[in-house]
Amino acid sequence: MKLFVNGRKNTFTILKNVIKPIDQNIWFHCASLGEFEQGLPIMEALKSKHPSTKIIITFFSPSGYEQKKNTPIADVVCYLPMDTLSRAKKFIELVNPTLAVFVKYEVWPNYMTTLKNKQIKTILISGLFRKEQVYFKPFGNFMRGALAKFDHYFVQNQESKELLESIKLSNISVSGDTRFDRVSHQIEMDNAVKFMDEFTNIPNCTCIICGSTWPEDEEVLIDYINSASSNVKFVIAPHKIDLQKIKTLRQKLTSTTSVTYSEYKKGTISNKKLEETNLLIVDTIGYLTKIYSYADIAYVGGAMGETGLHNILEPATFGVPIIIGKNFVKFPEAERLRSLAGLFSVSNKEECNTILNKLVSDANFRKKTGMICGHFVNSNTGATNIIIEYLDQQKIL
């Protein structure tokens, strides 16, 4: 909350210092880190086509801002001021965007009104709508009015398009999710990580990457970790780096040893110790996407509790079978991949143990499941091209 409040105190000063009246600016608003990942392919494509254009990125939450405040794609990264009419007017005057891009489902009424009044082209990308949302309720007139101010909606699926049409909105394209474009390029990059090379340097190693985990995720994994054979290696990359929670996790290990990335980085453990240990806890940020390239199996966190499922597409692009928790109804990509049998949902330790045993012991099953995941990503790319073609046709930039 302190970051949330204090971060917004500097927004207008940052904008005044960086943006000049002659600049051509594109404004992207992202709620958090996940929405940034969806917006990034569009940012990169626009920057490539229009290199002199400045990219302004705003975040609502500290979790997104803190991780991406220094991203090289942006000329300015700041918090979005709270949605009052006076702040919205001041912000839009300072940014003076040629184009405003909102990601997924961020809709702020005063910002939308100000953009509309100034006739600034405004689009929604990777939009995802559900009938439970306020826009589709009898009492949702006010928010429907804000939603109606977009010039074009690029949505992830047909269901979202039909929901928008049910409230008399048009100019809708089913483009898909831009995250597929984002992760599909990752496989072409250099994903080598020195400490992972050393960690997995044993014969017949099976590597299970547990990414963006929360304590409730770790709770269903711990029994399997304690009982696994010596050639099965685990990486846990917690969503939040909390030293006390990491200490608690390590105390629950009864039959395996663990090291942390920080211990490795500081040189307090040897390379041989890293090679011999069964569990590596990555207590830093920035490595997870590359680490997934080492996975034979991936457990993606967030769905065992109520915090929200994290990005399953990052491991899927490497052709890795995926396990998640039980709460994923708001994540259509997980529902689709599960229906294709590339992803498995578990509700408790017993179910987690069963599917992990199957994936570890049956290499053919593991390979087949991973191939489903890789094909799923490859067959759903293209959203970025659809959006860029629209912007080119509109001659906005």
Give catalytic residue positions.
35
Look up residue 369 and give its two tokens.
């499941």
* SS3 label, residue 53: coil
Instruction: Tell me how far apart the alpha carbons of residues 67 and 236 are, in angstroms, rounded to a whole number.
Output: 19
Asked if 359 contacts 365 with a C-beta cutoff of 8 angstroms, the reply is: yes
* SS3 label, residue 269: coil
Instruction: Tell me how far apart the alpha carbons of residues 239 and 213 are, in angstroms, rounded to a whole number.
Output: 5
Asked if 356 contacts 224 with a C-beta cutoff of 8 angstroms, the reply is: yes
Q: Which amino acid, one-letter code, is at 31?
A: A
Cβ within 8 Å of residue 346, ≥6 positions away:
220, 323, 324, 325, 326, 352, 355
What end-to-end distance do the CA atoms of the chain give, in Å? 37
SS3 assignment for 212-264:
EECHHHHHHHHHHHHHCCCCEEEEEEECCCCHHHHHHHHHCCCCCCEEEHHHH
Cβ within 8 Å of residue 186, ≥6 positions away:
289, 293, 314, 317, 318
Q: Spell out a b/e string for 262-291, using b for 16 or more CB atoms within 10 Å of the CB, else e.
A: bbbeeeebeeeebeebbbbbbbeeeebbbb
Cβ within 8 Å of residue 345, ≥6 positions away:
303, 323, 324, 325, 326, 328, 334, 338
Asked if 162 contacts 138 with a C-beta cutoff of 8 angstroms, the reply is: no
Instruction: Tell me how far apart the alpha carbons of residues 80 and 30 are, in angstroms, rounded to a whole number.
Output: 9
